[in-house]
Chain A
Amino acid sequence: MIITKMKSDEEITKMLKPFKKLFVVGCGTCSTSCQTGGEDQVKEMYEKLGDRATGWTMVEEPCDLRITRRDLKDNKDQIAEADAIVVMSCGGGVQTVSDFTKSIVLPANETLFIGQTERIGKFHDMCKACGECILDETGGICPITRCAKGLLNGPCGGQVNGKCEVGDYEEECAWVQIYDRLKEQDRLELFTVFRPPRDNSTKVLTTHYYFR
């Protein structure tokens, strides 16, 4: 899931200030789960806006252009009346709403990561969408995401008692976790494999992906 957090009230107020009339769009998928763009949050935003709001709606998946088109088609007049649209989704949703409406869009959320939900309100960064997955070699723990330096060949010298130098030694060192996991799985030979530098050019070229 794409994990988002809401911008602070101050940031949102400042961002919305130049606009007199606003329409609010929520996300029925990830941002609903994150409680950053579900119906409750969208209604709350709508109510806060008072007279400035021209309306609100939920888009089931605002990152999908077809669904955005479908779910916004009944709100054409309210959107036309607004100076801007407050989109309560991830950056993918915000841009899709922008592409479809060509309106000024205002992101209410910060997009954090592709994450694991431990419970609602407790999420963990799990994937940087790097395009070269090596989880088979690293015991199912991603060093690109979970090592602060994204190292591919073991821990750096800043590891203390299995904790990372970034964040006051509160976060786990991903490479110590990988070591422990591979050891448990009796696959430590994978730990010492040399992983050569990545080909970053392939990532640059995967801004779009067409599988047919």
Chain B
Amino acid sequence: MNRPAFSNLVKDLHAGKFVLTGELEPEKVTSLEEVLESARAMKPYVVAANVTDNPLAYAYMNSLVPSWKVQEEVGLETVYQMTIRDRNRLAVVSDVLAAQYLGIKNILTLSGDHTVLGDNKGAQSVYDIDSAQFTYLLHKMIDEGVDLAGNEIHGKIEINVGIAANPNADPLMPEVLKVGRKTKLGADFIQTQTMFDIDLIKNFLKEMDKYKTPVLIGIFPLKSYGIADFFDKFIPGVSVPQELLASMKKAKEEPDKEKRKEKYDEVNLEFFGPIIREIKKTTNAAGIHIMAVLYERIFESLLENF
């Protein structure tokens, strides 16, 4: 993709820097204090932070507003996540125009977890377009100044486009071919689902090499055993390694709250420290997407000597 770099994230990628991105999750709230606080805490470590869009089909605050507010208030660039589970092609165009107006520089295109996994299970999923067609629609808007029907957009859209991939997928080839096709439709970068296995990471990167699109490997430091267990059970396409779950469970047994936190941190550092160092040193990954939601304290120790 020969699209210019509009965002700091893509500028860094084009400059060949090893980049780090974080993740913010506005929940079913009417205040952004917690999100802004998290953004401030991760700002020293990351070039940009993703803002999730109704993850797991839970109806949360619209992600555009926090994507804008974090940039305005904290000065941290955001990656506005958008699913097509909740938007038809009209809604996508509307939201992208608004995002451009608000100064958003990155969009991550997603299918979105199915509504039956969420907290409003009876809702109708939209899926008017799929994530490949969504990527194509953004290409039309950004690079050609029109929507899918060819209607002209008045004004420029200067936004870089990310796509998602799941290197945990088994079988992997349908996923690789799907992601590969999306890179050709107009993706500036790839962010992966959370990974726990360096061999799967390496294997995926090898398969993606020919598509020449920077890949940021996702990791998800686990703040508590409860989160680890939930993650293992309910996040589609992800399972937490049993030995990591067991270590987290053991850490949970520590009665003292502060000591328990320290133990959780130790487990995470022991598990993810070597993985992120190996990704940086031995693979051609372009960076790491650290989904330490509400666990920003881990950044400092995790990235020590990185």
Contact = CB atoms under 8 A, between A and B. Distances in A.
B193 to A, nearest CB: 6
Interface stretch (A97-105, A133-141, A188-196): A188-196
A149 B169 contact: no
Nearest to B180: A192
A144 to B, nearest CB: 10
Interface string A93-121: 00000000000000000000000000000
Contacts, number: 102
> Would you call the interface of chain A mostly helix, strand, loop, or mixed?
loop
Interface in A162-185: 162, 165-167, 175-176, 179
Contact of A158 (B89, B113, B239): B113
Contacts of B164: 157
B114 A191 contact: no
Counting contact residues on chain B (CB < 8 A from A), the size range is 35 or more
Interface string B176-191: 0110111011000000
B129 interface: yes
Contact of A152 (B133, B170, B173): B133
A153 B184 CA distance: 13
Given A166-B114, A179-B171, A152 B180 contact: no
Contact of A154 (B116, B125, B181, B236): B181
Given A155-B178, A158-B237, A159-B174, A149 B136 contact: no
A148 interface: yes
A155 B169 contact: yes
A197 B237 contact: no
B295 interface: no
Nearest to B239: A160
Nearest to B132: A153
Contacts of A156: 111, 131
A206 interface: no
Interface in B169-228: 169-171, 173-175, 177-178, 180-182, 184-185, 193
A200 interface: yes
Interface string B231-252: 0000011010000000000000
Interface residues of A, number: 29
A198 to B, nearest CB: 8
A160 B169 CA distance: 6
B237 A154 contact: no
B289 to A, nearest CB: 14
Interface centre among A150, A153, A155, A196, by most chain B C-beta atoms within 10 angstroms, is: A153
B171 A176 contact: yes
Contact of A196 (B114, B136, B237): B136
A179 B171 CA distance: 10
A165 B117 contact: yes
A151 interface: yes
Nearest to A178: B174
A207 interface: no
Given A152-B130, A153-B132, A158-B236, A194 B111 contact: no
Nearest to B238: A160
A151 B166 CA distance: 16
A149 B125 contact: yes
Nearest to B85: A149
B144 interface: no
A153 B133 contact: yes
A152 B136 CA distance: 13
A65 to B, nearest CB: 31
Contact of B178 (A154, A160, A167, A197): A154
Contacts of A165: 113-114, 117, 236-237
A39 B137 CA distance: 53
Contacts of A197: 89, 128-129, 133, 136-137, 148
5 A-B pairs with least C-beta separation:
A154-B178, A158-B236, A153-B132, A165-B236, A157-B166
18 contacts: A148-B116, A152-B130, A153-B182, A154-B132, A154-B174, A154-B178, A158-B236, A158-B237, A160-B170, A160-B239, A165-B113, A165-B117, A166-B114, A175-B174, A176-B174, A194-B132, A194-B136, A197-B136
Interface of A: 148-162, 165-167, 175-176, 179, 188, 191-192, 194-197, 200
Given A160-B239, A197-B133, 16 more contacts: A148-B114, A152-B132, A153-B132, A154-B132, A157-B166, A157-B169, A157-B193, A157-B236, A158-B113, A158-B237, A159-B169, A176-B171, A194-B136, A194-B181, A194-B185, A200-B128
